[in-house]
Amino acid sequence: MPFLMESWIVFLKQAGMGLGFVGVWLLCIGGLILSCLSISGTWVVVGAALLAAVVSPAPFPGLATILIFIGLSAAIELLEWFAGMYGVTKRGGSKLAGFMALVGGVLGIFAGGLFPVPIVGSLLGMMLFSFALVYLVERHRLQKDAPALHIAMGSVTARVFMIMVKVSVTLGMIVWLVIGVIQK
């Protein structure tokens, strides 16, 4: 009877570890999808690394990997926050227009959530509001359409670029996690 109980405990441990790794891979896939939609997928991969640290009998991922992932996620958030502002000022826009790119992005995320397609709506809202507020500020300042459009497109271009950066960093984190877990 004790042998049967011991076998059952070993089975449950193995099943729990297997389910834990399924959770890790699902979190990684979810993080990648969210990053493609300009949502914080890098933080989901941090969660995957934390789960992998709990379920893995190997020392990987350790504290250093998790701290690096947290640092990368924080840096991406900070860069994304100011991307629209940078895109505007890089194209000759005023500081006020740069600030409006930031405000428009934040407002657009919430207003875009009202669109019928929830996640895509927020992404489109962020770009649309950022573009519109920058255009209005620059149109008023310059009294011309073409330069105002050029400057406003800077906010959209910067945000699209940041989506590509976010997806690349998320993929890099996932690859690092997968290679580390497989090797250990």
Distance CA 97, CA 153 (A): 12
Burial readout 79-97 (b: 16 or more C-beta within 10 A, e: otherwise) = bbebbbbbbbbebebbeeb
Inter-residue contact 147 to 138 (CB < 8 Å): yes
pLDDT digits (tens, 9 = 90+) for 59-100: 889 999 999 999 999 999 999 888 889 999 999 999 999 999
Distance CA 139, CA 98 (A): 14
> What band does 3 get if pLDDT is binned at 50, 70 and 90?
low
Q: For the residues 147-166, what does the mean pLDDT come to? A: 95
Domain total for the chain? 1
Q: What does pTM read for this prediction?
A: 0.84
pLDDT at residue 116 tops 90: no
Range of the domain at 91: 2-183
Q: For the residues 48-69, what does the mean pLDDT come to? A: 92
